[in-house]
Amino acid sequence: MRESEGKLRAAEATLARAEEIERIRQSIEESLKLLVRYAKEGERLAGEALAVVAGTAVSELNDIARQQPKMFLRLSRKQFAWPGLVSSKRGITERNKELLKLLQVGKNGIYSKKKWQISAPSTRLVMSMFFLAQDLAAKGRLPRLTKKTKRT
Protein backbone atom coordinates (compact mmCIF):
# COMPACT_ATOMS: atom_id res chain seq x y z
CA MET A 1 0.00 0.00 0.00
CA ARG A 2 2.79 2.43 0.88
CA GLU A 3 4.50 1.73 -2.43
CA SER A 4 1.36 2.51 -4.43
CA GLU A 5 0.82 5.70 -2.39
CA GLY A 6 4.37 6.74 -3.18
CA LYS A 7 3.83 6.09 -6.89
CA LEU A 8 0.60 8.08 -6.78
CA ARG A 9 2.32 11.03 -5.09
CA ALA A 10 5.13 10.90 -7.64
CA ALA A 11 2.64 10.86 -10.52
CA GLU A 12 0.73 13.78 -9.00
CA ALA A 13 3.96 15.75 -8.59
CA THR A 14 4.90 15.03 -12.23
CA LEU A 15 1.48 16.20 -13.39
CA ALA A 16 1.67 19.36 -11.27
CA ARG A 17 5.12 20.16 -12.73
CA ALA A 18 3.84 19.62 -16.29
CA GLU A 19 0.85 21.90 -15.63
CA GLU A 20 3.15 24.58 -14.18
CA ILE A 21 5.44 24.39 -17.22
CA GLU A 22 2.45 24.71 -19.55
CA ARG A 23 1.19 27.80 -17.65
CA ILE A 24 4.66 29.36 -17.93
CA ARG A 25 4.81 28.57 -21.66
CA GLN A 26 1.42 30.13 -22.29
CA SER A 27 2.32 33.25 -20.31
CA ILE A 28 5.59 33.70 -22.20
CA GLU A 29 3.89 33.10 -25.54
CA GLU A 30 1.26 35.75 -24.79
CA SER A 31 3.94 38.25 -23.78
CA LEU A 32 6.00 37.50 -26.89
CA LYS A 33 2.97 38.08 -29.10
CA LEU A 34 2.52 41.51 -27.51
CA LEU A 35 6.19 42.39 -28.05
CA VAL A 36 5.95 41.25 -31.67
CA ARG A 37 2.81 43.31 -32.24
CA TYR A 38 4.41 46.45 -30.78
CA ALA A 39 7.62 45.87 -32.74
CA LYS A 40 5.64 45.46 -35.98
CA GLU A 41 3.98 48.79 -35.21
CA GLY A 42 7.46 50.35 -35.16
CA GLU A 43 8.01 50.53 -31.40
CA ARG A 44 11.81 50.48 -31.11
CA LEU A 45 11.87 49.42 -27.44
CA ALA A 46 9.68 46.43 -28.21
CA GLY A 47 11.97 45.37 -31.06
CA GLU A 48 15.03 45.67 -28.86
CA ALA A 49 13.32 43.78 -26.03
CA LEU A 50 12.33 41.03 -28.45
CA ALA A 51 15.93 40.72 -29.66
CA VAL A 52 17.26 40.50 -26.09
CA VAL A 53 14.65 37.93 -25.00
CA ALA A 54 15.19 35.80 -28.12
CA GLY A 55 18.97 35.94 -27.75
CA THR A 56 18.81 34.97 -24.09
CA ALA A 57 16.39 32.12 -24.78
CA VAL A 58 18.47 30.71 -27.65
CA SER A 59 21.73 31.02 -25.73
CA GLU A 60 20.33 29.30 -22.63
CA LEU A 61 18.59 26.60 -24.70
CA ASN A 62 21.78 25.76 -26.54
CA ASP A 63 23.86 25.69 -23.35
CA ILE A 64 21.40 23.15 -21.90
CA ALA A 65 21.37 21.21 -25.18
CA ARG A 66 25.16 20.93 -25.16
CA GLN A 67 25.14 19.71 -21.55
CA GLN A 68 22.13 17.38 -21.89
CA PRO A 69 21.63 16.54 -25.58
CA LYS A 70 19.57 13.43 -24.84
CA MET A 71 16.85 15.70 -23.42
CA PHE A 72 16.26 17.14 -26.90
CA LEU A 73 16.94 14.24 -29.29
CA ARG A 74 13.29 13.18 -29.65
CA LEU A 75 12.47 16.71 -30.85
CA SER A 76 15.67 17.69 -32.67
CA ARG A 77 15.80 14.56 -34.82
CA LYS A 78 12.38 15.46 -36.26
CA GLN A 79 13.23 19.12 -36.98
CA PHE A 80 14.90 20.53 -40.07
CA ALA A 81 16.26 23.48 -38.09
CA TRP A 82 17.34 24.36 -34.56
CA PRO A 83 17.42 27.81 -32.94
CA GLY A 84 20.84 29.40 -33.18
CA LEU A 85 22.60 32.72 -32.95
CA VAL A 86 23.61 34.18 -36.31
CA SER A 87 27.01 35.82 -36.39
CA SER A 88 29.74 36.89 -38.75
CA LYS A 89 32.17 35.30 -36.28
CA ARG A 90 33.37 31.91 -37.51
CA GLY A 91 33.56 30.46 -33.99
CA ILE A 92 29.84 30.95 -33.40
CA THR A 93 29.01 29.46 -36.78
CA GLU A 94 31.19 26.42 -36.00
CA ARG A 95 29.55 25.98 -32.57
CA ASN A 96 26.14 25.99 -34.27
CA LYS A 97 27.29 23.31 -36.73
CA GLU A 98 28.64 21.19 -33.87
CA LEU A 99 25.35 21.53 -32.01
CA LEU A 100 23.37 20.46 -35.10
CA LYS A 101 25.49 17.30 -35.27
CA LEU A 102 25.27 16.66 -31.52
CA LEU A 103 21.47 16.98 -31.61
CA GLN A 104 21.21 14.99 -34.86
CA VAL A 105 18.91 17.64 -36.30
CA GLY A 106 16.74 16.22 -39.07
CA LYS A 107 17.93 12.62 -38.68
CA ASN A 108 14.42 11.17 -38.41
CA GLY A 109 12.56 14.04 -40.03
CA ILE A 110 9.96 13.89 -42.75
CA TYR A 111 11.88 16.38 -44.86
CA SER A 112 13.85 15.78 -48.01
CA LYS A 113 17.56 15.13 -47.54
CA LYS A 114 18.23 16.96 -50.83
CA LYS A 115 19.64 20.49 -50.82
CA TRP A 116 17.04 23.21 -50.43
CA GLN A 117 17.03 26.56 -52.15
CA ILE A 118 15.45 28.74 -49.47
CA SER A 119 15.38 31.73 -51.84
CA ALA A 120 13.33 29.83 -54.44
CA PRO A 121 9.66 30.88 -54.56
CA SER A 122 8.57 27.23 -54.66
CA THR A 123 10.48 26.47 -51.45
CA ARG A 124 9.04 29.54 -49.71
CA LEU A 125 5.53 28.50 -50.78
CA VAL A 126 6.03 24.96 -49.50
CA MET A 127 7.42 26.27 -46.20
CA SER A 128 4.37 28.53 -45.81
CA MET A 129 2.11 25.54 -46.46
CA PHE A 130 4.10 23.48 -43.97
CA PHE A 131 3.74 26.07 -41.20
CA LEU A 132 0.03 26.43 -41.97
CA ALA A 133 -0.39 22.65 -41.76
CA GLN A 134 1.43 22.58 -38.41
CA ASP A 135 -0.83 25.34 -37.11
CA LEU A 136 -3.96 23.51 -38.31
CA ALA A 137 -2.73 20.26 -36.74
CA ALA A 138 -2.15 22.04 -33.43
CA LYS A 139 -5.77 23.26 -33.62
CA GLY A 140 -7.02 19.73 -34.37
CA ARG A 141 -8.10 20.53 -37.93
CA LEU A 142 -5.49 18.28 -39.59
CA PRO A 143 -3.67 15.13 -38.44
CA ARG A 144 -0.24 15.66 -36.88
CA LEU A 145 2.37 15.83 -39.64
CA THR A 146 4.35 12.60 -39.94
CA LYS A 147 5.88 10.62 -42.81
CA LYS A 148 2.63 8.67 -43.04
CA THR A 149 0.33 11.73 -43.05
CA LYS A 150 2.42 14.19 -45.08
CA ARG A 151 0.47 13.54 -48.33
CA THR A 152 -2.83 14.33 -46.53
Tell me the per-residue pLDDT of 43-84, one tens digit each, with 9 for 90 and over.
999 999 999 999 999 999 999 999 999 999 999 998 888 999
Q: Name the domain count of the chain.
A: 1
Tell me, yes or no, whether 118 lies in a domain.
Answer: yes
Range of the domain at 128: 111-152
Q: Is the dihedral of CA 18, 19, 24, 29 positive or negative?
A: positive
Low-confidence ranges of the chain (pLDDT < 70): 1, 109-116, 152
Q: Is the dihedral of CA 131, 77, 87, 36 positive or negative?
A: positive
Tell me, yes or no, whether 11 lies in a domain.
Answer: no
Tell me what pLDDT residue 1 has: 66
Tell me, yes or no, whether 123 lies in a domain.
Answer: yes
DSSP secondary structure string for all residues of 93-130: HHHHHHHHHHTTTTTT-SS-SSPP-TTSHHHHHHHHHH
Tell me, yes or no, whether 77 lies in a domain.
Answer: no
Tell me, yes or no, whether 63 lies in a domain.
Answer: no
Tell me, yes or no, whether 59 lies in a domain.
Answer: no
